[in-house]
Structure formats: C-alpha cells, structure tokens
Chains A and B, each alone.
Chain A
Amino acid sequence: MDDIALRAEGVSKVFGQSRVLDDVSFELRRGEVLCLAGENGCGKSTLIKILNGVYTPEAGATFSFGNADSVSRITPHDARALGIHVIWQDLALFPHLSVAESIVFDDYVASPWRPLSRRAARREAREVIERLGVPLDPDTRVEDLSIARRQLVAICRVLRAGARIVFMDEPTASLTRNEVQTLLEITRSLSAQGISIVFVSHRLSEVLAVCQRVTVLRNGALVGTYSTEGMTQTRLSQLMTGHELALTPREPDGAGEPVLELRNLSRAGEFENVSLTLHRGEILGLTGLLGAGRTELAHVLFGMTRPTGGELLKNGKPLTLRSNRDAIRHGIAYVSEDRLNLGLVQNQSIIMNTAVTVLNELEKPRGFLSPRRLLALTTEWIQRLGTKVNDAELAVSSLSGGNQQRIVLAKWLATRPDVLILDCPTVGVDVGAKAGIFDIIRTLADQGMSIILISDEASEIWMNSDRVVVLKAGRISRELTPTTTTEASLEEIINA
C-alpha cells in the first residue's frame, strides 16, 4: 500500500549564515509509523516546524498530500486543514484546566464567543477518550495527572482536532517502561485507524520496535529512509553519526595501585557487605537493576549518607566522610543522574556553572573572585572536553544537551578529583554525544583518574569498563571482565 499522506521534496532552510536543512526529501505513508532520527542539531525540529507551518522553507520546495496538487510551502492554516499536528515534548497543556477542557480547547480558540456547555465538552471529550481506549476522567485537572496520562490528554486533543498526521517529539523521554509499552500500543492502534505518525526518539530500541521505516538526517541533510526490518541499533547509530562507533571493550592496561577500598561496606536496608577495590586509572562498571543499591552505594562513597557498617580506605588510609564537602576535599566527585536539573543552574552563565565547585579556591588569596581566573578555568575545561561554546558568558541553557553534559563534567573535574563517580552519565543524551562522553571518560582514566561508572545499559558498561561489578538486591552478585565476557551474557547476568 503506497498511499502517500505527505511528500516533501527539496526542503531547505537557512538561518542567517547557517544552512540548517539542505535539500531534504521526506515521505510519509498513510497509517504508517515513521521514525525521524538524527543527532541533536541535525535539523529534525526545523523540518517538523516547516511541515507544521511554523517556518517557511526556502524557495524550491514542493509539498504534496496524496493527490496531484502541490504547494511550495505549508501555512499554519494548511497544516490545520490537513490535520497535521505536533505533540511537543512539553505537551503544551494547561495544568489548571480539566481534561475535558484541555481536549476541546481548540474550539475555544476557534470560536471564542460561542456560548459554552460544560456537558457538551465533557461528552465530546469522553467520545475521544473512548475511541482511544484510555483510562482518563474528563473532570480531573491536568495538573493532577502523571506525565504519561498528560500525554494521553495531548493525544486525545489532536485526535479531536481531526489529526491525520501526528508528529511526536521525544514522547517516551519521561516515561517508565510500562508507560512506554502503553504508548507504543496506542501508537499502533492510531496507525491502524489510518493516522500517520512520525516518532522522534533517541531510544533506538523503541524506534525499531514501533516504526516501520526510519528517515535519518545528519547535519541538515538526508542520509536516507530505511525499513526497520533487519535494521540494528548499531547500524542506525552509524547512520545517525556518520562514523563507526567503537564497539570493542576497552583494553585494560594493567591495574595501578589501589585508590579506594571498600571493606564489607553496608548501609542498613540499602546494601550489605560490599567489598571492592578501585585502582588508579581504572574504569569500574557498577551495574544491576534499578533498586539494586547502585546509587545508594554511590551516595555513601560521596559522603551524602553514612554507612552503617564496614570500612572505607582511600590510598590505604581509613576514610570517614561526614558530608559531601568532606568527599570533595578528599578528591571524590559524584555526577548525579539528574544532571540537567540538579547538576546545573540553567539560567546562570557557563562560567559560573563550571566554577561553582571551586569558588572558594578561586577566591584565594584575597577573598575576591577575579573574572580573569574564572574565564581561564572555564576555557581550559571547555577545550579539554571539546565543548562547543560560543560565549562562556551565556546561560548554560543555551547549550545543547550533550554540551551541557560536558559542563557538568567540567564542574566536577575542576575539583581535581582522583575518584570520579558517574551515575548514568548518558541518560537522555543522543548517540553521538554518548560516544563523545565515553571518549572523555576513557581519556580521563588513561590520565590516571579512577572512575566508577554506574549504568543499567549493558552495552555501555561492557564497552567502557575494565572490570564490571554486578549488584543484586544490595549485594555483589558477580564480578567479571568485559574482555572475557560477551555483551549478551552481561545483559543476562544483570537481568537474571
């Protein structure tokens, strides 16, 4: 069935000096689930905005919709008439309105002075909710719903507005595994109703599970459109980044002297009798299912909570940590999982975000901050981590996700730690940026830093660790080396 819902050809877009999209073609079939893939900044959002009527493309583009007619641009009015809708990652809902009102909100905008009936709004909302087969109560306020339910409200809203083509921007980013499954099922049922769906996601396994085809963009140009049949995650990430990513485990270059030793370390209710040794220049992978005690162990090592038993030794001497300030003083740094919110002050400058961990050092000897020294420190780390920064005075929110990640790392590296604990450092980062972060981590280890890498993704643990410790229900269940294990068997051990 080659029933075309939307075909775009020769789409380009220039912002100032930079060509964000260059002669891209895009084709969407009726009732198909298509993935639009590419790294951050590849032009995905620009393309969506052109197809949605927000941006005007450069001259020379043609758009057609399954019949002979074609147009040179899609106006917002066209987009609405054609039923093209975008569900942005932030969902664009109204927290204080009820579910029913949110679903019929577009009526309010279209005919503001038509008298209202709450009952009619509720009835119409219920119709859509039933059509989608989801558990929503029309009278609940949106602010009382979980993110997953809010997403369903957003889907109901576009269905009600007569959507034929729906773009979903990172729809699974903040959902749990079960919620993702529900969403994927809903996506399939929409496509069975003849609605075409374009899925934008960094989670490649989901992409491959739900989409029939994937269109890959790189640096504003079309790489190609491929069937997901026979496509692997590895191949897809190669297409997105344009280079082969290292897929062999790291070769350990002989263990250095012990830096951090845990002897029967326990914390009641969280983990028990954990004994392990971290050597100089080593990357130790710490993995296990959520709730196995990984993060809890990291918190103890960073002085945020106290152990209830066992000993901790640093460079052979016993170490007692009363607070995370103690830990920082002893050269231990911890990058938490929710870096973008907890790790950065988004509207402060890049300089202040980088320097915040060492401000009291920088104030010495006179007790004043020198802008020159702040800038020097920031510039040094920006260069060492290969961060793309135009102006370090700008707010950190002006950077892309992968670059923000580097600033979080820079901030902790500025404390000159010899033990660096990374808690899920690649959550929410696109494929290319992930590779960049692991390059940095490997380089740091080669320079002699000891790193504890916490992650539940078997592949990244397997590729980047010298040694892997698997936690299960608070105890060490296995210790292994990636060079003598396969990725698949590591995955099995974690999930066993």
Chain B
Amino acid sequence: MPRLHLGTEGVLAAIIVVLCIALGLTTDTFLTTQNLFDLLNNQSVNMIFAVGLVVVLIAGGIDISFAVAASVVQYVVMTLLIDHLGGGNWLLGILLSMAVGSLLGLVNAFLIHRFRIVSIIVTIGTFNLYFGLLMVFTGGVSIYDIPDWLYYSIPLIDLPAARGSATLYLPVAVMAVMSLATGFILTRTGFGRTLYGFGSSPEAARRSGVRVGVIHAFAYGWLGLCAGVAGLMQAHIVQEVVPNALIGQELPILAAVVLGGATLGGGRGSVTGALLGVLLLAVVQNGLNLLGVTPYAFRMIVGFIILVAITCSNLDKLLPRRAIPKEARQ
C-alpha cells in the first residue's frame, strides 16, 4: 500500500484546513474574509520573527533575544528618526531598522563564534542585557508621538464585507517579501544549502571548507534583520512604542517554528513550515476566542498541541517499520 507522504508542512496544512472547516461550521464569524484578513494582519509580525528564527534553527543554533532586540530597534530607530532626522520616511525607517536589527544579531553571532559559547547561553545573556539597557535608558516610558508616515495604516486590499469592509494592510506584504527572500536564500542558493549542511553536521561542514563564521554571522544577523523589520511593523500596527510590548513573544514563536518542523538539533526546517506553525497556533487562538473559551485556556491548549505534535512526529521513529532503513524497503 503506497503511503501518502506529506511531510511536516503537508500535515500542518491539512490540520489547518480541517480546523478551518470545523470552525467554519461551528461559528458563523470564522470563515469570513474579514476574520481571515484580521488573522493575517495580526500574525504578520510573528510570522516575520518566525522566518528569521527558522534560519537560526536550521543552522543548529537558537536565539531567544530576538523579541527584545526588536523592542530595542523600535526605540533606537524612533529616537534617531524623531530627534535627529526630522521624522524620516518609510525607506529610511525600514533601512535603519534592518541595520540596527542585524547589528544586534551580529553581537550574538560574534559571541557565539569568537568565544565558542553555546547559543542558548549567549542569547539568554543578550536577552537580559538588551532588555535591561532598554528599561534603564527609557525609564520604562513609551513613545506615543510616532511620525505620521508610521502612524497611519496603509491598506493594500479593501473588500466590501458584511459589516464594514475587510482590509489587508501593509505588514502582510512586508511579511510576504521577507518570507520569499528567506525562502529563496534557503532553497535556491548554495549558501542556503551550506546552512542546512552546517546545521546537520558542523564538523563535516567545517571539513568541507564551509566558513563557520560566515554561517553564524548570516544566521543571527538575518534573524536580527527580520526582528528589526518585525519591530517596525509592530510599532506601525499599534501606533506606539512600548518597551515591554514584545518581551515574552520569543517562546511562543519558537514553539511555532518547532511545530513547523524545525528542530533544536539543526539541519531541519523551512520557511513554509515556520509560517504554518504560526498560522496553526493563530487559528486555534482565534477559534477559541470565537467559541467563547476563556483566554486562560489558550496557553494550556497550545502546550498540549505542541506536545502532541512533537510526539506524533517522533512516532515515525518509534514504530518498528522505521527501524528498517528506507532503501531496504524499496
């Protein structure tokens, strides 16, 4: 009997479709353009984080400092723009965010590479360092007076809907661009394949002549760049900059990316998987909201989903059939 082979992404997509149909049948608000557009608008920031994080996981590392790094980017960029550059514009804002973000990521890469410290320890360190610096320098005060170009939301698609209209905003497009760029690098360039190779077996990659420093710099720098962009988008969406707005987001996003097929061991993961992981958790949360389940139950259910999903993906290895190498079954 031929076995249907979907891969992690296929399974995730199937689960999401089933969930959507179920929620479409049980609620009359879920399967509306308005709700689905809102879902994307709200998740675009997390998705940008996720596509950055998956690069680090593929390269066999981990980073938990990216969410506070994004907050730092928001503050630094806003302060620079408002106080020194007369408000700036979209181009300047995006470029500055990318620059500051990658710089913060490169700090992680430098510490990991130069001093051979495990990535989780380094990023726990920089996580605290960045957040501490941010709180000290801002005194915990938010910035409400952001430039006009950033303040006003930019609709991309506007469809008439049952109540008002359904609108897709700029952050969704930015998310799409970041995802495509990351996906292109990972799957369509030799460099992307050396990232997988390095994550799969660092020693083998080193012996093949892969420059380890470049791999680290790219992985953490790219996540920093994505975090910078995500930070700017988050400020754009909520129309203010709050120092502790993003802290705490790192673990749910990490969980989503792992759900999408990446492992902490490296060598595995994809942009599609990372996006679907975020989407799955978002659909579940959205569905629970619409069903009127208490928000307190959400975390519990997310934890449950993660444990079940990881167990299922390991089930393959536990079943006796898997003990026979694939070639022997052909």
A97, B196: Cβ atoms closer than 8 Å: yes
CA distance A92 to B197 in the complex (A): 10
Given contacts A92-B207, A113-B189, A137-B330, contact A108 B201 (CB under 8 A): no
Given contacts A137-B330, A144-B326, A144-B327, contact A94 B190 (CB under 8 A): no
Residues of A within 8 A of B201 (CB): 92-95
B194, A93: Cβ atoms closer than 8 Å: no
User: Is A145 on the interface with B (CB-CB < 8 A)?
Assistant: yes
User: Is B247 on the interface with A (CB-CB < 8 A)?
Assistant: no
User: Is A116 on the interface with B (CB-CB < 8 A)?
Assistant: yes
Given contacts A93-B204, A94-B197, contact A109 B190 (CB under 8 A): yes
* 1/0 contact string of B90-107 vs chain A (CB within 8 Å): 000000000000000000
Residues of A within 8 A of B200 (CB): 94-97
B268, A94: Cβ atoms closer than 8 Å: no
Residues of B within 8 A of A146 (CB): 325, 327-328
User: Is B210 on the interface with A (CB-CB < 8 A)?
Assistant: yes
* 1/0 contact string of A136-161 vs chain B (CB within 8 Å): 01001100111001000000000000
B267, A95: Cβ atoms closer than 8 Å: yes
User: Is B205 on the interface with A (CB-CB < 8 A)?
Assistant: yes
User: Is B160 on the interface with A (CB-CB < 8 A)?
Assistant: no
User: Is A107 on the interface with B (CB-CB < 8 A)?
Assistant: yes
Cross-interface CB contact of B325 among A88, A135, A145, cutoff 8 Å? A145
CA distance A93 to B204 in the complex (A): 6
| Chain A positions 199-240 with a Cβ under 8 Å from a chain B Cβ | none
User: Is B139 on the interface with A (CB-CB < 8 A)?
Assistant: no
User: Is A254 on the interface with B (CB-CB < 8 A)?
Assistant: no
CA distance A92 to B326 in the complex (A): 21
User: Is A363 on the interface with B (CB-CB < 8 A)?
Assistant: no
User: Is A479 on the interface with B (CB-CB < 8 A)?
Assistant: no
Q: Which residue of A lies closest to B330 (CB)?
A: A137
User: Is A26 on the interface with B (CB-CB < 8 A)?
Assistant: no
Residues of B within 8 A of A367 (CB): none
The prevalent SS among residues of B at the interface is: helix
B188, A116: Cβ atoms closer than 8 Å: yes
CA distance A470 to B327 in the complex (A): 36
B193, A116: Cβ atoms closer than 8 Å: yes
CA distance A107 to B203 in the complex (A): 18
Residues of A within 8 A of B210 (CB): 109
Residues of A within 8 A of B327 (CB): 135, 137, 140, 144-146, 149
User: Is A114 on the interface with B (CB-CB < 8 A)?
Assistant: yes
A96, B203: Cβ atoms closer than 8 Å: no
CA distance A460 to B119 in the complex (A): 50
CA distance A137 to B201 in the complex (A): 21
Residues of B within 8 A of A97 (CB): 193, 196-197, 200, 267
User: Is B191 on the interface with A (CB-CB < 8 A)?
Assistant: yes
Minimum Cβ distance to chain A for residue B182 (Å):
15
B204, A116: Cβ atoms closer than 8 Å: no
CA distance A462 to B239 in the complex (A): 86
Cross-interface CB contact of A115 among B188, B207, B325, cutoff 8 Å? B188
CA distance A95 to B267 in the complex (A): 8
A116, B189: Cβ atoms closer than 8 Å: yes
* 1/0 contact string of B195-218 vs chain A (CB within 8 Å): 011011101110111100000000
User: Is A16 on the interface with B (CB-CB < 8 A)?
Assistant: no
Residues of B within 8 A of A96 (CB): 196, 199-200, 267-268
A108, B326: Cβ atoms closer than 8 Å: no
CA distance A106 to B190 in the complex (A): 9
Name the residue in A94, A110, A144, A145 with the highest tally of chain B Cβ atoms < 10 Å from its Cβ.
Answer: A94
* 1/0 contact string of A73-116 vs chain B (CB within 8 Å): 00010000000000010111111110001000111111111111
Q: Which residue of B lies closest to A109 (CB)?
A: B209
CA distance A107 to B193 in the complex (A): 10
B189, A94: Cβ atoms closer than 8 Å: no
Minimum Cβ distance to chain B for residue A102 (Å):
8
Minimum Cβ distance to chain B for residue A45 (Å):
14
Minimum Cβ distance to chain B for residue A110 (Å):
8
CA distance A135 to B326 in the complex (A): 13
CA distance A255 to B264 in the complex (A): 60
CA distance A5 to B157 in the complex (A): 68
The prevalent SS among residues of A at the interface is: loop
* 1/0 contact string of A109-129 vs chain B (CB within 8 Å): 111111110000000000000
Q: How large is the interface on B (under 10, 10 to 19, 20 to 34, 35 or more residues)?
A: 20 to 34
Q: Which residue of A lies closest to B268 (CB)?
A: A96
| Chain B positions 168-202 with a Cβ under 8 Å from a chain A Cβ | 187-191, 193-194, 196-197, 199-201
Residues of B within 8 A of A116 (CB): 187-190, 193
Minimum Cβ distance to chain A for residue B29 (Å):
42
B325, A144: Cβ atoms closer than 8 Å: yes
Q: Which residue of A lies closest to B211 (CB)?
A: A109
Minimum Cβ distance to chain B for residue A146 (Å):
5
Q: Which residue of B lies closest to A106 (CB)?
A: B208
B325, A105: Cβ atoms closer than 8 Å: no
CA distance A149 to B196 in the complex (A): 21
Name the residue in B193, B199, B325 with the highest tally of chain A Cβ atoms < 10 Å from its Cβ.
Answer: B193
Residues of B within 8 A of A115 (CB): 188-189
Given contacts A109-B190, A112-B189, A144-B325, contact A92 B203 (CB under 8 A): yes
Minimum Cβ distance to chain A for residue B191 (Å):
4
Minimum Cβ distance to chain B for residue A336 (Å):
21
Q: Which residue of A lies closest to B326 (CB)?
A: A144
Given contacts A115-B188, A140-B326, contact A109 B208 (CB under 8 A): yes
CA distance A137 to B328 in the complex (A): 12
Cross-interface CB contact of B191 among A76, A91, A113, cutoff 8 Å? A113
Given contacts A96-B268, A97-B200, contact A112 B194 (CB under 8 A): yes
Residues of B within 8 A of A145 (CB): 325-327
CA distance A113 to B267 in the complex (A): 19
Residues of A within 8 A of B328 (CB): 146
| Chain B positions 280-330 with a Cβ under 8 Å from a chain A Cβ | 325-328, 330
A92, B208: Cβ atoms closer than 8 Å: yes
CA distance A145 to B330 in the complex (A): 12
| Chain A positions 56-78 with a Cβ under 8 Å from a chain B Cβ | 76
A109, B199: Cβ atoms closer than 8 Å: no
CA distance A94 to B210 in the complex (A): 13
Residues of B within 8 A of A92 (CB): 201, 203-204, 207-208
CA distance A108 to B209 in the complex (A): 10
Q: Which residue of A lies closest to B206 (CB)?
A: A92
Cross-interface CB contact of A105 among B191, B197, B203, B326, cutoff 8 Å? B197
A108, B197: Cβ atoms closer than 8 Å: yes
Minimum Cβ distance to chain B for residue A87 (Å):
11
Q: Which residue of A lies closest to B201 (CB)?
A: A94
Residues of B within 8 A of A140 (CB): 326-327
* 1/0 contact string of B251-275 vs chain A (CB within 8 Å): 0000000000000000110000000
- A sample of 16 cross-chain residue pairs with beta-carbon separation below 8 angstroms, ordered by A number, consists of A88-B207, A90-B203, A92-B203, A92-B204, A96-B200, A96-B268, A97-B193, A97-B196, A101-B193, A112-B189, A113-B190, A116-B189, A116-B190, A116-B193, A146-B325, A146-B327
Q: Report which A residues bind B (CB closer than 8 A).
A: 76, 88, 90-97, 101, 105-116, 135, 137, 140-141, 144-146, 149
Q: A108-B190, A144-B327 are in contact. List 16 more A-B contacts (CB 8 A).
A: A76-B209, A91-B204, A92-B208, A94-B205, A97-B193, A105-B208, A106-B208, A108-B194, A108-B197, A109-B209, A113-B189, A113-B190, A114-B189, A135-B327, A141-B326, A144-B325
